[in-house]
Structure 1
Amino acid sequence: MSVWQKKLGLYLDLIRWSRPAGWLLLLWPTLAALWLAAGGFPGWHLLAVFVLGTVLMRSAGCCVNDVADREFDRHVKRTAQRPVTSGVLSVKEALGVGAVLALLSFALVLTTNRLTVLLSFAALAVTLIYPFAKRWVSMPQAVLGLAFSMGIPMAFAAVQGEVPPLAWWLMLGNLFWVLAYDTEYAMVDRDDDLKIGIKTSAITLGRLDVPAVLLFYLLFIGIWHLALMHKGLGAIYLVAMGVALVQVAWHYSLIRHRSREGCFKAFRINHWLGFAVFAGIAAGYAV
């Protein structure tokens, strides 16, 4: 294997290329917003911009996160072998990769309109702030929720040239979904995080973590359903929301004993819940 092949492998590991669950969690609510803003299929241009932009920005976020957390990650078994933490990639290299990916994403945004471009700066700011939030904020997952929800107002801005109230309601609901799945993620590392001294929602919530996660899921589905009731998306949409609720029950069965394996599996399968909601919306317009 050549030096460049090894380096490419490290870069792909840095951006979690083999673990697409992260960008799928970003993608489904963003696509749902695109479909809602356009009243159906938004066109190939915007679809390409937001799919590629989502993958690129999530990858850039991984670079920043790994640099910010490199001292913490070496004390956590699950993250100790990340390229920056283990020292096989330098901080300069990781930030360079992140900068290139962010610039490529920004180039895509430049093909939309002024409001979307302005919102992209806000999205970038929250993305850069999040890795440091766990040092000071009791529930840094709320900051991640803002970062992972910025695609929603950007989608409406790209299609309609404005951000209507519906977008902000959807963003609020999505924030609760992020709180749900990232609390599951934090439950995996709770023992390590307590030793290190960082803050997470799993630590802040304590023994209320499981009921809180269930509440966050229900708030996500409830807010989105109330916001979309007037859209007349039909029976197939209602079935999809029912499928999402069934998945919430599945998550409860996985996390109720708070095992690392169960909580990590619950986090990894979350993209199916998001897909169910998006599929219901897209199918509702198609029918």
Structure 2
Amino acid sequence: MGLLSTEAGPTGLANKVADAPSGNWVDRHAPSAWRPFLRLSRADRPIGGWLLMWPCWWSAALAALHHGAVGQTLWHLALFLSGAFIMRGAGCTLNDLVDRDIDDKVERTRSRPIPSGQVTALAATVWLAAQALAGLVILLQFNRFAVLLGISSLAVVAIYPFMKRVTSWPQAVLGLAFSWGALMGWAGAAAGLALPALLLFAGSVLWVIAYDTIYACQDKEDDAIVGVRSTALLFGDKARGAVGAFYAGAVLLIGLALAANGAGLLSYLGLAGFAFHLAQQVVRFDHCDGALCLVLFRSNRDAGAILFAGLMADCLWRWL
């Protein structure tokens, strides 16, 4: 088999990934030769890119409230937008390489490009390197402190795919990786870190643990059979209470970050909207309903947008 195989794999689904939205742009419009690689990067499921981006944007807005620099902030937002989606793709590619033997045994993941035979491990490794190089080019646009801080995140990213084999808290490690942007936004503006960024980072970690617990509830049965671990399995029937507690902690810590930064009313209105959205998720959450879990997980894109809107509105009010 060559670098790229277009033959149907064991599931017979060479042109579709089971958990991708139907009619996504990759399946409909991307050149056929690129589709397996775009699927590896989850370009057909962009929710992860949004979730990786929001802590970066929150932090950049928080720094802008403190430091000003309108032009710099807009430039950094553009860098974080492209960087988040590129690095999320790289992370997913790495995860699929590490998990290819597990993915073949899980109903939701066995149609992914590597276990289904659409892409070889060698081709995926080359694709991973290309994405990592693109991410490095973006990272190098920041100051030296931010560059070193960004590079240090790679240690967390590298160990995450293995955590489900050794701990029931892989979601906590994902929280560290997906929240690193809460440090990067501030570092990019200030060439250092301060209490507001650290509090925002801690709050974001709890947010990620909660929404990824919801996501993991889709795979509880298969994960138990395969022998991998997650907070969804750990919490079991108490998952709703745990998710609610993590969300509450996230709101509290982010609120403390706003207070430490001297944020205005509009920032707190954004936080209130964020909290209301999370509370609605907890009310609706049913750990036994996989389809609903996916809907609630994806809705965190909107939760992140609400908080960012409040922060940016506060920035614009001060700038104007």
TM-score for both structures, normalised by structure 2:
0.85
Q: Per-residue deviation at 1:150?
A: 1.1
Q: Does residue 1:195 correspond to 2:225, yes or no? A: yes
Q: Per-residue deviation at 1:96?
A: 1.1
Q: Is the 8 A contact 1:254 1:263 kept in 2?
A: no
Q: Does residue 1:180 correspond to 2:210, yes or no? A: yes
After superposition, where does 1:86-105 map in structure 2 within 5 Å? Answer: 86-105=116-135
- Between 35-44 and 182-191, report the one with greater CA deviation: 35-44
Partner of residue 245, structure 2: 215
Deviations 1:79-132 (A, max 9, x none): 110001211101111121111111111111112121111112211121111011
Gaps of 5+ in 2: 1-5, 7-29
Partner of residue 52, structure 2: 26
Partner of residue 254, structure 1: 284
Please state whether the residue corresponding to 1:43 is helix, strand or coil.
helix
Q: Is the 8 A contact 1:233 1:285 kept in 2?
A: no
Partner of residue 305, structure 2: 275
Q: Per-residue deviation at 1:253?
A: 3.2
Q: Per-residue deviation at 1:199?
A: 0.8
Q: 2:234 aligns with which of 185, 194, 204?
A: 204
Q: How many residues align?
A: 285
Q: Structure 1: how far apart are the matches of 2:287 and 2:137? A: 46
Q: Per-residue deviation at 1:232?
A: 4.5
Percent of aligned pairs with the same amino acid: 37
Partner of residue 140, structure 1: 170
Q: 1:68 aligns with which of 78, 92, 98?
A: 98
Partner of residue 164, structure 1: 194
Q: Does residue 1:120 correspond to 2:150, yes or no? A: yes
Q: Is the 8 A contact 2:59 2:197 kept in 1?
A: yes
Please state whether the residue corresponding to 1:148 is helix, strand or coil.
helix
Q: Per-residue deviation at 1:251?
A: 0.8
Seen in structure 2, the aligned counterparts of structure 1 residues 147 and 257 have a Cα distance that, compared at 3 Å, is closer
Q: Is the 8 A contact 2:214 2:294 kept in 1?
A: yes
Quick one: which amino acid aligns to residue 77 of structure 1? E
Q: Per-residue deviation at 1:28?
A: 1.2
Q: Does residue 1:264 correspond to 2:264, yes or no? A: no
Q: Structure 2: how far apart are the matches of 1:27 and 1:51? A: 6
- Between 182-191 and 12-21, report the one with greater CA deviation: 12-21
For the aligned residue pairs, the C-alpha RMSD in angstroms reads 1.7
Q: Per-residue deviation at 1:250?
A: 1.9
Q: Structure 2: how far apart are the matches of 1:45 and 1:285? A: 15
Q: Per-residue deviation at 1:47?
A: 2.2
Higher helix share: 1
Quick one: which amino acid aligns to residue 234 of structure 2? T
Q: Per-residue deviation at 1:194?
A: 0.4
- Between 222-231 and 199-208, report the one with greater CA deviation: 222-231
Quick one: which amino acid aligns to residue 192 of structure 1? D
Q: Structure 1: how far apart are the matches of 2:314 and 2:297? A: 27
Q: 1:9 aligns with which of 35, 45, 48?
A: 35
Q: Is the 8 A contact 1:33 1:152 kept in 2?
A: yes
Partner of residue 151, structure 1: 181
Q: Is the 8 A contact 1:13 1:83 kept in 2?
A: yes
TM-score for both structures, normalised by structure 1:
0.94
Please state whether the residue corresponding to 1:6 is helix, strand or coil.
coil
Q: Structure 1: how far apart are the matches of 2:140 and 2:287? A: 47
Gaps of 5+ in 1: none
Q: Is the 8 A contact 2:58 2:185 kept in 1?
A: no
Quick one: which amino acid aligns to residue 56 of structure 2? T
Q: Structure 1: how far apart are the matches of 2:76 and 2:294? A: 33
Please state whether the residue corresponding to 2:31 is helix, strand or coil.
helix
The runs of 4+ residues in structure 1 deviating greater than 4 Å are: none
Q: Structure 2: how far apart are the matches of 1:23 and 1:259? A: 24
Partner of residue 129, structure 1: 159
Deviations 1:32-81 (A, max 9, x none): 10111122544343222221111111010010011111111112211110
Q: Is the 8 A contact 2:264 2:314 kept in 1?
A: yes
